[in-house]
């Protein structure tokens, strides 16, 4: 992009419209585009951004052979038929080069349309469907220039890049969803006595998080971290996981390795690496006697503190190889006694407030909730990358 301190566009009012102003418009357009997945809304964003950047009288979408309807930003008096006739006439006279067509002045000829623009610029969006974005002005003082074409071309590139990102994002979301399902199934397969444990811990954690009025993004993290908190058990010997009696010292040390193994596995998945504290530290204790890092009190990440309560609740509710499920009255007593020693006392207060809704949670299998949680995780990663890209692009310009 040209130096924004010296390059200008000429607005219809006669006042200079700097490329810095055009960049600001396109930057807002880029941010809005990241929040928009619907084709019709994307088109509207493009038209509004181009019209504001160029200070054009009207900007419209010519769909060619595509299914999108004509969409017009600016003069409401222009009809879809007028837009079609004008675009086809101009393209018939000059097809354009590399998907760009600049007409600084327009000769109305012997049979002009009414009204007839004084200047126009066209940029092709799709070659296969021959769809174009067309900007026109009816002001005799205004003549579009090469700089206007560059602004429109940049808007086009931003739109197409976003659509490619959306397509890639959908594929990645499906892949990540499948990965989480496979990992959860692998954990269940390791120990039939704890089948469904990860799903229940995830649901308990989310309900407890709602009791604490946590935001939706944190609830999604709790759900995914709950599903994956025991993923490290994949690396634990079956003979230890399924042992019906007491563990030996060596076996106990071995099973304590699973949070570290899980942390190592999750660290390799960029979109899930922010869940590592929940996976690694859900066996820490408030009094510092937990594992693997012997963290104490608020040194323990919040995600891990909450998961520790959810994990313990489900473990006590379920039958295990070495004992039967505990009655809810017994769980109440254990939770209350462990507040301030094993668990965060504030989280236990919230647990006790909603325990009547937590205990019945026993659904098994993964439903839409994990799909939504994966989507939120991907969006968070995508938004962070987008902000960095926009900042880098502005510095480079």
> Do 127 and 32 fall into the same domain?
yes
> 387 in a domain, yes or no?
no
pLDDT higher than 90, residue 226: yes
> 174 in a domain, yes or no?
no
> Do 149 and 242 fall into the same domain?
no
CA distance 132 to 135: 10
Q: Shortest CA distance to 314 belongs to which of 300, 326, 330?
A: 326
Q: Residue 63: which H helix or E strand, with range?
A: none
CA distance 310 to 304: 10
Long-range contacts of 297-303 (CB under 8 A, 24+ apart): 300/344, 301/277, 303/221, 303/222, 303/225, 303/275, 303/277, 303/278
> 378 in a domain, yes or no?
no
Give CA separation, 339 vs 128, 133, 291, in Å.
65, 63, 18
> 137 in a domain, yes or no?
yes
Amino acid 349: pLDDT: 97
Amino acid 75: pLDDT: 82
> 296 in a domain, yes or no?
yes
Q: Shortest CA distance to 73 belongs to which of 57, 97, 91, 90?
A: 57
Residue 296, SS3 per DSSP: coil
> Do 155 and 240 fall into the same domain?
no
Contact, 365 vs 156, CB < 8 A?
no
- Give 69-83 pLDDT, tens digit per residue: 778 888 878 898 999
Amino acid 77: pLDDT: 84
Half-sphere exposure of 143 (CA within 13 A, CB side): 7
Choose from 38-47, 94-103, 215-224, 277-286 the range with maximum mean pLDDT: 277-286
Residue 306, SS3 per DSSP: helix
- Give 168-185 pLDDT, tens digit per residue: 777 777 788 778 878 888
> Do 146 and 213 fall into the same domain?
no
Q: Which domain holds residue 311?
A: 191-366
Across 183-193, b (16+ Cβ under 10 Å) vs e yields: bbeebbebbee
> 386 in a domain, yes or no?
no
> 130 in a domain, yes or no?
yes
> Do 82 and 197 fall into the same domain?
no
Q: Shortest CA distance to 147 belongs to which of 298, 334, 337, 4?
A: 4
What the block records as the tokens of 151 is 């602004």
- Give 103-130 pLDDT, tens digit per residue: 999 988 777 788 999 999 999 988 777 8
Contact, 162 vs 389, CB < 8 A?
no
> Do 161 and 213 fall into the same domain?
no
Q: What is the CATH number of the domain that holds 300?
A: 1.10.3210.10
| Phi, psi for residue 17 in degrees, rounded to 5 | -110, 105
What the block records as the tokens of 288 is 């510092």
Contact, 286 vs 297, CB < 8 A?
yes
> Do 319 and 266 fall into the same domain?
yes
Amino acid 393: pLDDT: 43
Q: For 274-285, what is the mean pLDDT?
A: 96
Structural domain count, the chain: 2
**Rounded to an integer, what is the distance from CA 263 to the centroid of its chain?**
23
At 6, is the pLDDT very low, low, confident or very high (cuts 50, 70, 90)? very low
> Do 235 and 128 fall into the same domain?
no
Half-sphere exposure of 215 (CA within 13 A, CB side): 3
pLDDT higher than 80, residue 388: no
Give CA separation, 44 vs 36, 53, 124, 237, 319, in Å.
11, 14, 16, 57, 57
What the block records as the tokens of 48 is 């509004």
Amino acid 342: pLDDT: 97
Amino acid 172: pLDDT: 77
Contact, 46 vs 155, CB < 8 A?
yes
Amino acid 168: pLDDT: 77
Q: What is the CATH number of the domain that holds 157?
A: 3.30.450.40
> 396 in a domain, yes or no?
no
What the block records as the tokens of 206 is 């989310």
Amino acid 384: pLDDT: 56
> Do 197 and 103 fall into the same domain?
no
């Amino acid at each position: 992009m040209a130096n924004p301190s010296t390059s200008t566009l000429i607005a219809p009012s006669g006042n200079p419209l700097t490329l810095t102003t055009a960049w600001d418009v396109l930057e807002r357009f880029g941010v809005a585009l990241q929040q928009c997945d619907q084709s019709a809304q994307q088109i509207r964003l493009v038209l509004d951004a181009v019209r504001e950047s160029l200070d054009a009288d009207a900007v419209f979408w010519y769909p060619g052979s595509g299914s999108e309807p004509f969409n017009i930003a600016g003069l409401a008096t222009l009809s879809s038929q007028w837009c079609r006739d004008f675009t086809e006439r101009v393209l018939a006279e000059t097809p354009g080069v590399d998907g760009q067509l600049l007409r600084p002045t327009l000769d109305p000829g012997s049979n002009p349309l009414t009204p007839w623009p004084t200047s126009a610029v066209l940029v092709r969006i799709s070659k296969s469907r021959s769809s174009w974005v067309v900007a026109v002005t009816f002001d005799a003082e205004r003549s579009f220039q090469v700089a206007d074409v560059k602004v429109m071309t940049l808007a086009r590139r931003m739109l197409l890049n976003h659509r490619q990102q959306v397509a890639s994002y959908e594929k990645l979301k499906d892949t990540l969803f499948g990965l989480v399902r496979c990992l959860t199934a692998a954990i269940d397969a390791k120990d039939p006595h704890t089948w469904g444990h990860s799903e229940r811990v995830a649901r308990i954690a989310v309900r407890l998080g709602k009791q604490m009025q946590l935001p939706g993004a944190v609830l999604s993290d709790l759900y995914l971290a709950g599903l994956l908190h025991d993923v490290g058990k994949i690396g634990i010997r079956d003979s230890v996981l399924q042992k019906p009696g007491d563990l030996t010292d060596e076996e106990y040390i071995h099973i304590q390795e699973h949070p570290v193994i899980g942390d190592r596995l999750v660290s390799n998945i960029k979109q899930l690496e922010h869940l590592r504290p929940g996976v690694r530290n859900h066996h820490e204790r408030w009094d510092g006697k937990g594992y693997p890092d012997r963290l104490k009190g608020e040194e323990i990440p919040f995600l891990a503190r909450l998961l520790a309560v959810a994990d313990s609740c489900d473990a006590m509710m379920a039958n295990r190889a070495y004992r039967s499920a505990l009655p809810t009255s017994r769980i109440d007593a254990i939770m209350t006694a462990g507040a301030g020693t094993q668990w965060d006392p504030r989280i236990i207060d919230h647990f006790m407030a909603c325990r009547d809704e937590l205990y019945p949670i026993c659904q098994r299998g993964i439903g839409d909730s994990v799909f939504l949680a994966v989507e939120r995780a991907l969006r968070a990663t995508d938004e962070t990358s987008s902000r960095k890209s926009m900042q880098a692009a502005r510095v480079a310009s």
